[in-house]
Structure 1
Amino acid sequence: MVLAITRRPATGAKKGTLLAISGGPGGTGLDLIEAPYPPEVLADFDIVSYDPRGVGRSTPLIQCAGGLEPDTSTDDPESTEAAERAEVAACVRDTGLDVLRHIGSDEATNDVDLLRAVLGEERINLLAYSYGTQIAAMYALRFPGNYRAAVLDGVVDIAERPNEMRVGQERGYQATFTRLAAFCAGEYRRSGAECPLGVDPATAEATFQQLLRNADERPLPARRGEPVTASDILEATYTGLLWRSFWEPYLRALEALRHGDGTMVRRFADSQDSANTNAITAITCTDTADPTTDRAAVQQDAAAIYDAATFDNYDRRPAEFPLEDCDLWPFPGKIIPGKILPAVPTRVDSAAPLLFVGTRHDPTTPVGNAERMAKYMTSPLLVREGDGHTFVFGNENNCIDVEVVRYLEDPNSVRDKVCA
C-alpha cells in the first residue's frame, strides 16, 4: 500500500502536526489541506492530509467495474441480488481479494500511527470528519499515548452495531426531509420561489413520492447524462439534505424537474463519483460484513432500515427484502462492537480528552452519536444548533471554531458548550 500525503508547513513556530482524516468511508483527503484553517492553527501546526488506502491517489485503488443494474421494474429480490453479486465479484476481480482483506478501518487506524512515525511526531493531533471520526476514536483506543489532541466532527458511535447505525441514519434523513419541507413551504416560498414539495408540509412527503413514481414511469431528460429516474432523484436527495447550504439549489433542481428538465437533479445525483461509491461499499463490507445466503435471516434488519424513513418509500413495501453487498461479501468483517472494538469504548486516564463536535440536526451522523461517545470517552462535547453535516474550520460557526482552537492549544481547557 502506498498512501498519497501532502503537508502545509506551519507559518510560525511549529508546535506540532495536525493530521486531517477524511470521511466516507472512501472519501479522498488531500484537498483537506486547503480548508480555511484559522490563522492560529496555521501558525502553530503543520497541516497534513492524505488519501486513505484504496482511495484517490493512493495505490492500489479499490475498483469494482462491471457490475449490473438491478431490474427495479418488478418486485424481484433475485434480480437485485444478481446485481449485488456481480458488484461483489467485480470488486474481488478488479481489486484483489488480498487487498480487500486489508482495506478496512483496522488497517486505516494503523496507517495513522505509521504517518505519525513518518512525520517524526511523538504525539499527533487529529482532526477527523464523519467516517474519519471512527478512525480517530479507534486510534485513541489503540494508541492512547500517541495522540495529543483529537477533534471529531460528525461523530460515528463506534459502540453501535452496523444495522443500528443505518437505522439511525435513515431516521436522521427522515427528520431532515421534514425540516426541508417546512423550509420549502415557509422561508423558501416567502423569498418568491415556488416550492416543489407543495404549500403544506404535511403533504410534502406524498408530493415527493408522486414525483418519484412519475420519474419511474417516464424518466426525465437531462442536457448531459442519462435521463433521470426515481433512483437518481433519491441519490440527489441524499446529497441535497446533507448540508443546509444545499437546500435551496436542491429545491430549484426539483422544481426544474417538475417542468421536465432533469439536468440539475442529474448533477446532484452524479456528484458522488463511481470510485467513491466503490470505496464506500468495499470499506463498509470489509469492516462489517456478515455473509449469509439466507434471505430470511436478514428480513428483520432490512425491514427496520426500510421503516426508519418513509419519505423515500414511493413504491409498495417489498414482500421480501433482498440480500445486499455485505451479505454476499467473501469474508466476514471485524469492525463491530465486541470483536475488534470494545462493546463500550472508554478512555484511559492517562490519555488526553477528545473533543466531540455535533450538529443538532445532522441527517447522517445524528447528534446522539456525539453525545454518547463524549460520555463513553469522558470528553467534552460541542453542539452547533442548526442543520448540516461537519463544519469545523469551514467558516460555518465561529463559536465552535474558537472552542476548537482553544482545545488544540490546550486539550484540557474546553468544556461542554452549545453554540447557536
Structure 2
Amino acid sequence: MLSGCLYAMIPAASSATPAPSREPVLDGVPAGFEEFYSQTLDWSACTGTDPGDYDCTEVTAPLDWSDPDAGTIELAVIRRAASGGDAIGSLLTNPGGPGASGYDIIAESASYAVGTALSDAYDVIGFDPRGVGRSTAVKCLDAKAMDAYLFDIPADPRGSAGWEAELTARNEKFVDACEANSDGILPYVTTDNAARDMDLLRGVLGDAKLNYLGYSYGTFLGATYAKLFPERVGRLVLDGAIDPSIPALEVGTTQALGFESALRAYMADCLGGSDCPFSGTVDSAMKDLGTLLASVDAAPLRASDGRMLGADSLMTGIIAALYSQENWTYLTRALSEALAGDPEWGFILADFYWGRENGAYLDNSTEAFNAYNCMDYPVDTNQADQDAADALVAEKAPTIAPYWQGVDVCTTWPYPPTGVRERITADGAAPIVVVGTTNDPATPYAWSVSLAEQLSSGVLVTREGEGHTGYNKGNSCVDDAVEAYLVQGTVPEDGLVCS
C-alpha cells in the first residue's frame, strides 16, 4: 500500500522568538499515566536549524498505553514559535506515511508544511511518531542490504513460483532484521498508540484541546485521535483522507486505479507538449508506456552505480512523480531517457520515493511504513477476494496492473495486527474539516468524501485538480477555508468546491 505523503524540501525563511512553555494540562489523564502528562519539558536550540526560529525537546511516552510500567519510549519534538506574537496555542502536524518525519518537514520548511498564516498564529509543532526518525525508531537493514531488498531483481520470471519464493525470502530477511534491531517496539508501533502519544503531547504542551493539521496517513492518525478523545478535539483539518473503514485489499485496489487515472492525466498533458516521448492518443501512448515497462522488465537497464532498473523500480519512479503535478516534467525526462536506454532519471525518482541519496537512506520511513501497516491492517483476505481485486485492477488499471502486486511483507511480520478497520464517527467532537482532491492518486477523493460522511461533525472541502492533498498547493479557495477555520474558528461551508 502506498499511503505515503511525499513532500518537497524547501528551505525555511522566517524569524520568531522561542515560545514560552505552558503548564501541562492534566484533566482526564488515564489512571497510572499521570507522571507522563506532568513531565517538565527541557527545550533547547535545535541542531541544524536557526535557533531564533526553533526549539526542540524530547517527550517520554509509555511503550504500552495499556501498561504504564512496561517501559518507555522517546518522542522527538520541534517547535516553531508563532511569528505573529501571542500564539493561539500549539498546532500539531503530521505529513503522512506512515513513517514520514514530522520533525524534518517543520525543520526544513514550516512554510511549506503549514503556510504563513498558520505559522503566524500558532506555535507549530512537528514530531516524529513512535517508530519514526528521531523518536524511538524501527531499525532494520543497513544501506547495502536495503538496496538489495528494494532493488535486486529476482532471477525467475515475474509471477512464477521461484519469483514468489525469492521475494518471500527477501521479506523474511527484512522482518528478521527489524525484530532483531528495534529493541522490542514492533508490537507497539500502531496508530492507536501514536494517537495516544499525540494526546500526551497536547497535554504536556499545555493545550486543553488538540489543534491539528494532518496529511494523507496523518488523516487516519487524526481521525483515530478523534475516535479516542472526541471531547478533546479542537480544530482538526484532515487533508487527503484515508477511509478508516475499508480493508487493506480495497485500499491497494483503489490506489492502483487512482494512480492509473493520474498517469492518464499526466499523459494527456505530456502529449500536449513539445518534448513528450510519446505520440498519438492517450490510449495509444499508455500502451506504448506499457511496452516500455515490459521491455525493462525483460531487459533491465544498468545504472552508473551498478543497480539495474527493472519495471518495478521504474514504476516506483512513475508513482513518485504522480504525487504532484509539479513533478511531471521530471517524469517526462525519466521516461524519455529510459526509452533511450538510460536509467539514471528513473532511479532519481525511485530514490526520491525511498528517501535514498548518494547510496544512503535519509530516514527510516520505509521500515516505519511497514511496521505501522502490518500492525494496523487485519489480514482477512480470501483467495476469491484477491482474485476479484486482481481482475478489477487488470481491467481498470492495465498499465500499472502487472507491477502492482508483489509478496506482502506483512505475511511474515512477527506480531499479529491489532488494528481494526471501522467507520469513525467521533460523536461529540467539534467540527472536523476534511479536504479532498478530485484526482488525488494516493488517497483517492472518494475516501475524503467517505470520511467526511462518517464523522458526525465532518465538513468536506473539495479541491478540483491533480496531485496529492489540497492545502497550500496554490488554490486560494482551499487555503482561505483551512486558514479561516484554524485561525478564526470559522467553519467552512460543508460541500465547498474549489476549482
Q: TM-score, normalised by structure 2?
A: 0.75
Pairing of 1:172-321 with structure 2 (within 5 A): 172-186=258-272, 188=273, 192-193=274-275, 195-224=276-305, 226-271=307-352, 272-273=354-355, 275-290=364-379, 299-300=386-387, 303=390, 306-307=393-394, 309-314=397-402
C-alpha contact 2:378 2:417 (8 A) present in aligned 1: yes
**Counterpart mapping for 1:3-402 below 5 A:** 3-11=75-83, 12-33=85-106, 34-36=109-111, 37-65=114-142, 66=145, 69=152, 71=154, 73-74=156-157, 75-76=160-161, 77-96=164-183, 98-186=184-272, 188=273, 192-193=274-275, 195-224=276-305, 226-271=307-352, 272-273=354-355, 275-290=364-379, 299-300=386-387, 303=390, 306-307=393-394, 309-314=397-402, 323-337=407-421, 343-349=422-428, 351-377=429-455, 378-393=457-472, 395-402=473-480
Whichever residue aligns with residue 71 of structure 1, its letter is P
What whole-Å deviation, never above 9, does each CA across 1:79-112 have from its counterpart, x for those lacking one? Answer: 322222222222222224x310011211111110
Give the aligned residue type for 2:154.
D
Aligned mates of 1:301, 1:314 — CA distance in 2: 15
SS in 2 for 1:373: helix
Q: CA deviation at 1:218?
A: 2.8
Q: Is the Cα–Cα contact under 8 Å of residues 26 and 280 in structure 1 kept in the other structure?
A: yes
1:340 equivalent in structure 2: none
* Deviation for aligned residue 1:335: 1.9
Whole-Å Cα distance in 2 between the matches of residues 124 and 183 of structure 1? 41
Task: Give the partner amino acid of 1:6.
Answer: I
Shift of 1:408: 1.0
Q: In the TM superposition, what is the alpha-carbon distance from 1:44 to its structure 2 partner?
A: 2.0
Mean Cα displacement is larger for which, 169-178 or 128-137?
A: 169-178
- Root-mean-square deviation (CA, aligned residues, Å) is 2.4
| Structure 1 counterpart of 2:233, one-letter code | Y
Q: Is the 8 A contact 1:291 1:329 kept in 2?
A: no
SS in structure 2 of the partner of residue 3 of structure 1: strand
> Which consecutive aligned stretches of 4+ in structure 1 deviate over 6 angstroms post-superposition?
none
The separation in 2 between residues aligned to 1:108 and 1:384, in whole angstroms, is 29
Distance in 1 (CA, whole Å) between partners of 2:458 and 2:278 is 41
Q: Which amino acid aligns with 1:27?
A: A
Q: Secondary structure at the match of 2:90?
A: strand
Shift of 1:128: 0.1
Matched letter for residue 35 of structure 1: A
* Equivalent residues of 1:228, 1:266 under 8 A apart: yes
What is the CA-CA distance between 1:143 and the residue it aligns to? Answer: 0.7
**Conserved 8 A contact 2:436-2:470:** no
Letter paired with 1:366: P
3-state SS in 2 of match to 1:380: strand
Give the TM-score taking structure 1 as reference length: 0.88
Q: For this pair of structures, how many residues does the alignment match?
A: 401
Corresponding residue SS for 1:270? helix
Counterpart residue identity of residue 95, structure 2: S
| Greater strand share, structure number | 2
Aligned AA (2:434): F
Match of 2:50 in 1: none
Distance verdict in 2 for CA 1:322–1:354, change over 3 Å: closer
Distance in 1 between the 2:77 and 2:228 partners?
22
CA distance in 2, matches of 1:313, 1:414: 39
Q: Check conservation: 1:288, 1:326, Cα contact below 8 A.
A: no
The answer to whether the Cα contact below 8 Å between 1:353 and 1:412 also exists between their aligned partners in 2 is no
Deviations 1:89-138 (A, max 9, x none): 22222224x31001121111111001111111111200001001100000
Give per-residue Cα distances to partners, 1:158-201, cap 9 Å, x unaligned.
Answer: 11111111111111011111212211212x2xxx21x2233321
Segments of 5+ residues of structure 1 without an aligned counterpart are 338-342
CA distance in 1, matches of 2:310, 2:211: 44
Larger RCO, structures 1/2 (Cα 8 Å, 6+ apart): 1
The 1:167–1:352 alpha-carbon spacing in structure 2 relative to 1, beyond 3 Å, is: same
Distance 1:373 1:322, change over 3 A: closer
Name the CA distance, whole Å, in 2 between partners of 1:405 and 1:115: 23
Opposite residue 285 of structure 1, the aligned amino acid is: C
Task: State the distance in 1 between where 2:95 and 2:408 align.
Answer: 25
Which residue type is aligned with residue 53 of structure 1? R
Shift of 1:64: 4.1
Q: What amino acid maps onto 2:100 in structure 1?
A: G
Structure 1 residue 334 displacement after superposition: 2.2
Q: For 1:239 and 1:90, locate their aligned partners in 2 and report how far apart those are by CA, in whole Å.
A: 26
Q: Is the contact between residue 140 and residue 175 of structure 2 (CA under 8 Å) also seen in structure 1?
A: no
Deviation string for 1:295-334 (max 9, x for gaps)?
958843763575352212458x9xxx87521122222212
User: Aligned partner of 2:424: which letter?
Assistant: P
